Structure 1
Amino acid sequence: MALSREEIAARYGGALFGYAQDTNSLVAVHADLQELAQAVSANPQILNVFSDPIFNSIEKKKSLSVIEQGLTAEVQNFLNFLLDYNRFNDLLDIIDRFNDLYDEANKITSGTATTAVKLDDAQLTALSRSYAQKYGLKDVRLENQVDKDILGGVILQIGDRLIDGSVKNKLKKIRVQLINKD
């Protein structure tokens, strides 16, 4: 039975994460994987070269040795492993899973701050720090979305937690209170 992309990503990403922990190279492996993900995202045809059955394994190994230059031994070994087991097409999913495990282990999370007007970098950073401090996190990466319908305030969506501090929500609560008084 064939594994789904999610199962492959979970297995291989988890294995690489455990391997990096065991070799005390977690930070270096994470940095290499971010660089690799950027390169592959910018040039997606790279994955096709390593997955194409037209190219023989010797040609693929030569091409991979060029890409591997400057990467940690752990990442080099892992890339060769993916090549040997014909899993190179799953590389970005595997990196995503590794990143999830890395963020979880380092108390880093991501989310969205929805506001009526665009926040500048200083405001977004202050909001991130405040949330991280309140919930005992090391870092919170926030993306800003603009929705003029909320009128003002901020709606934070981080993981499964929603904090609605929008003016629209506050007005709705006041309206409900006024209706219930009568």
Structure 2
Amino acid sequence: MALSREEIAARYGTALFGYAQDMNSLDAVHADLQELAQAVSANPQILSVFSDPIFNSDEKRASLAVIEKDFNVEVQNFLNFLLEYDRFADLLDIIDRFNDLYDQKNKITSGTATTAVELDDAQLAALSKGYAQKYGLKDVRLENKVDESILGGVILRIGDRLIDGSVKNKLKKIRVQLINKD
């Protein structure tokens, strides 16, 4: 029975995470994987070279040697493992799973701050820092989304948590209270 992309990403990403932890190189592996993911995202044809049956294994190994030369040993070993088992097409999904595990271990999360006007970097950093402190996290990476319909305030969506501090929501609550009073 063939494995789905999600199952492959979960198995290989978890295995790489465990391997990097065992080798005490989690941060170095994470940094190399971020660099690799950026390169592959910018040049998606890289993956097709390593997945294409037209190229023989010697050609693929030679190409991989050029790409991996600046990476640490753990990443090199893992990339060679992916090549040997023909799993290069799943590389970005595997990196995403690794990143999820890395973020969990390091208490890092991501989310969206929806505001009526665009926040500058300092405002976004202060919002991120405040949320991280309140919920015992090391870091919160926030993306700012502008929605003028909220009138003011901020709506934070981080993971499965939603904090609606928008003016629109507050006005709605006041309206409900006034209606229920009568």
Q: Distance in 2 between matches of 1:124 and 1:66?
A: 39
Q: TM-score if structure 1 supplies the norm length?
A: 1.00
In structure 2, what is the equivalent of residue 84 of structure 1? 84
Q: Distance in 1 between matches of 2:47 and 2:150?
A: 42
Does residue 65 (structure 1) correspond to residue 68 (structure 2)? The answer is no
- AA aligned opposite 1:84: E
1:63-87 per-residue CA deviation (whole Å, 9 max, x = no partner) reads 0000001100000000000000000
In structure 2, what is the equivalent of residue 26 of structure 1? 26
Q: Sequence identity, in percent?
A: 86
Q: Distance in 1 between matches of 2:3 and 2:153?
A: 45
Q: Distance in 2 between matches of 1:130 and 1:10?
A: 32
Q: Distance in 1 between matches of 2:69 and 2:82?
A: 17
In structure 2, what is the equivalent of residue 108 of structure 1? 108
- AA aligned opposite 2:36: L
Provide structure 1 residue ranges, at least 5 long, that are not aligned to the other structure: none
Q: Distance in 2 between matches of 1:77 and 1:111?
A: 33
1:4-24 per-residue CA deviation (whole Å, 9 max, x = no partner) reads 000000000000000000000
Q: Distance in 1 between matches of 2:4 and 2:164?
A: 36
Root mean square deviation, CA, Å: 0.2
Q: Distance in 1 between matches of 2:143 and 2:6?
A: 25
- AA aligned opposite 2:85: Y
Query: In the TM superposition, what is the alpha-carbon distance from 1:100 to its structure 2 partner?
Result: 0.2
Q: Distance in 1 between matches of 2:152 and 2:172?
A: 13
In structure 2, what is the equivalent of residue 139 of structure 1? 139
Query: In the TM superposition, what is the alpha-carbon distance from 1:163 to its structure 2 partner?
Result: 0.1
In structure 1, what is the equivalent of residue 176 of structure 2? 176
In structure 2, what is the equivalent of residue 152 of structure 1? 152
Q: Distance in 2 between matches of 1:135 and 1:116?
A: 25
In structure 1, what is the equivalent of residue 38 of structure 2? 38
In structure 1, what is the equivalent of residue 13 of structure 2? 13
Q: Aligned pair count?
A: 182
In structure 2, what is the equivalent of residue 55 of structure 1? 55
In structure 1, what is the equivalent of residue 2 of structure 2? 2
Query: In the TM superposition, what is the alpha-carbon distance from 1:145 to its structure 2 partner?
Result: 0.2
Q: Which SS does the other structure have where 1:164 is aligned? A: strand
Q: Distance in 2 between matches of 1:4 and 1:171?
A: 47
- AA aligned opposite 1:145: K
